[in-house]
Amino acid sequence: MVFAGSPTWDHAADGDGGDCGVNQFNTNIVYHSYYGMTLERSTNKGKTWTSILPPPNLTGSFYPPVEVFGLTVAMAGDSLAITRTGTPPWTTVSLALTANELPTAMRAISSNALVVGTNFGRMMQISWTGASWQRAMLTSPASRSMSCIAVDPSNPQRLWVTFSQINGGLVYRSDDGGANWVDCTKGLPSIPMSSVVVDPANYQRVWVSADVGVYQTMDLGKTWTGFSSGLPNAMAVDLYFHTQDRMLICATRNRGAWVINVP
């Protein structure tokens, strides 16, 4: 579905809706996946689509993570499929995963660097050296399934992660690029967390979404308050912050997408 300003969204593609992405330097170019390692590309904002399947030998989770940063497009399965031209051919980068381990979260820091998290809680950074992609392992904040990674737009060394498995910390922050982590869970309910975004205008302001509700911190995760006014009683499964219009968008399970203006 495509949001074009009306409460009624425009139809873009049939079938299961997986992860998607937009070339922020040319918003006519968009990408969407169905399930597994499938990916399509549109150059007219979703009116028509072309299949750009990653290499057929790759397997992923039911909804593998997809990231787009300009012409850099990545899809994370048991190895990373990545291109620097927005279209195939793909380069395959080994993630050195263990048995039954798959990527569950990914975030582009820039067109030259991505951070990947797995269902075992392991993290790694994939960086372009000018000639090839190189993998570097980061410190893991918890050995549980990672649901989302956010990068502070004002400081690429500040990372946030959420976890969808309970019985431990659910939200963590790193101020040194993933070398050390601070548990920022205190004040949040002990339920799965699914998404995290940082306010580009105020690095101390962060939102997380959970199985029930959205929560906000104004002090880098020291304290949290509810930010669910007007939301239905449904799982808040994804968050996106629209910088230009200062809107926080929350996608729910079976109850549509909700928008709130952020002063």
The answer to whether residue 133 sits within a structural domain is yes
The answer to whether residue 113 sits within a structural domain is yes
Q: In this predicted model, what pLDDT tens digit does every residue of 231-249 receive, in sequence order?
A: 999 999 999 999 999 999 9
The answer to whether residue 99 sits within a structural domain is yes
Which residues on neighbouring strands pair with residue 247, listed in sequence order?
A: 242, 261
The answer to whether residue 11 sits within a structural domain is no
3-state helix, strand, coil in the chain (%, to 5): 0, 45, 55
Domain span holding position 70: 63-261
In this structure, which amino acid lies at residue 71?
Answer: L
The answer to whether residue 2 sits within a structural domain is no
Buried b (16+ CB within 10 A) or exposed e, 164-202: bbeeebbbbbbeebbeebeebbeebbeebbbbbbbbeee
* Among candidate residues 232, 186, 191, the one with its CA nearest the CA of residue 210: 191
The answer to whether residue 75 sits within a structural domain is yes
- If one counts the domains in the chain, the total is 1
The answer to whether residue 100 sits within a structural domain is yes
* Among candidate residues 218, 258, 222, the one with its CA nearest the CA of residue 240: 258
Which residues on neighbouring strands pair with residue 171, listed in sequence order?
A: 162
* Structure tokens given for 49: 């689509």
Contact 115, 158 (CB under 8 A): no
> What CATH number is attached to the domain comprising 239?
2.130.10.10
Q: How far apart are CA 87 and CA 72, in angstroms?
A: 9
One digit per residue, pLDDT tens: the chain, 263 residues? 787 777 788 888 887 778 999 999 999 999 999 999 999 999 999 999 999 999 999 999 999 999 999 999 999 999 999 999 999 999 999 999 999 999 999 999 999 999 999 999 999 999 999 999 999 999 999 999 999 999 999 999 999 999 999 999 999 999 999 999 999 999 999 999 999 999 999 999 999 999 999 999 999 999 999 999 889 999 999 999 999 999 999 999 888 889 899 98
- The pTM of the full predicted model, rounded to 2 decimals, is 0.95
Q: In this predicted model, what pLDDT tens digit does every residue of 67-107 receive, in sequence order?
A: 999 999 999 999 999 999 999 999 999 999 999 999 999 99
The answer to whether residue 183 sits within a structural domain is yes
